[in-house]
Amino acid sequence: MKLNRVNSFLWIPIFSFIIITGVSDECTAFLSRCETGELIAVTSVNVILEVLHRLLMIEAVRKELVQPPNIVKKISKHPEKLKQLNEYYANTEKIKDMGIQIQSLKFDTIVKSHTVRLSHGLMVNDSVIVASMQENAITFLATADKAFEKVAGIEVCRPNDVDL
């Protein structure tokens, strides 16, 4: 399904859209629809943690504190450089302002995600997203990640102007 055709309650692994907003007109428009309440979007705390992690790495590279590859390994050896990073957090705080509901993560969800991994061959965070969706009876997933297309019962809503 095309992202711009979504008219329902959906789950969003928000990091994909935050990172490519400004690059993708569809992702920007999608997040605007969430912000105005036209769409009800939900994500989980584990996704927010991944957003923090990725935005921190992007900021570290942008500020030329480290260079790829192995960003995490390099930056973690220099706490003084980590202390110079704060934009990633300010941007993460804006997620709630976007009208996206943030669900807590229960241990039972993590346990159920193992079955999802075994059934669909997903990575840990992806399987937790699917298990969370199943617990909340959400079938629409806004993502550019093709890994979710193999999961039965999930309708993947992809931006057409992004090719990851």
In this structure, what CATH number is given to the domain that contains residue 50? Answer: 3.40.50.1010
Q: Which domain holds residue 63?
A: 3-157
Left if phi > 0, otherwise alpha if psi is -120 to 50, otherwise beta: which for 121?
Answer: left
Average pLDDT of the chain?
A: 85
pLDDT at 124 over 90: yes
Q: Is residue 163 domain-resident?
A: no
Q: How many domains does the chain have?
A: 1
In a domain, 19, yes or no: yes
* pTM summary value: 0.83
Distance CA 154, CA 32 (A): 23
- Structural domain contains residue 162: no
In the β-sheet with 100-103, what is the strand arrangement from edge to edge?
A: 100-103, 41-44, 10-11, 140-142, 155-157
d(CA 164, CA 161): 10
Indicate whether 111 belongs to any domain.
yes
| pLDDT tens readout for residues 4-24 | 767 666 656 654 454 445 567
Mean pLDDT, residues 148-160 = 89
Please say whether the beta carbons of 63 and 88 come within 8 A.
no
Of the candidates 46, 60, 36, 38, which has an alpha carbon nearest to the alpha carbon of residue 14? Answer: 46
pLDDT at 12: 64
The answer to the question of residue 164 being in a domain is: no
Asked if residue 148 belongs to a domain, the reply is yes
Q: In this predicted model, what pLDDT tens digit does every residue of 61-100 receive, in sequence order?
A: 999 999 999 999 999 999 999 999 999 888 777 887 888 8
Contact status, residue 138 vs residue 101, Cβ threshold 8 Å: no
Most confidently modeled range among 2-6, 46-50, 55-59: 55-59
pLDDT higher at 30 or 65: 65
Q: What is the DSSP letter of 138?
A: -
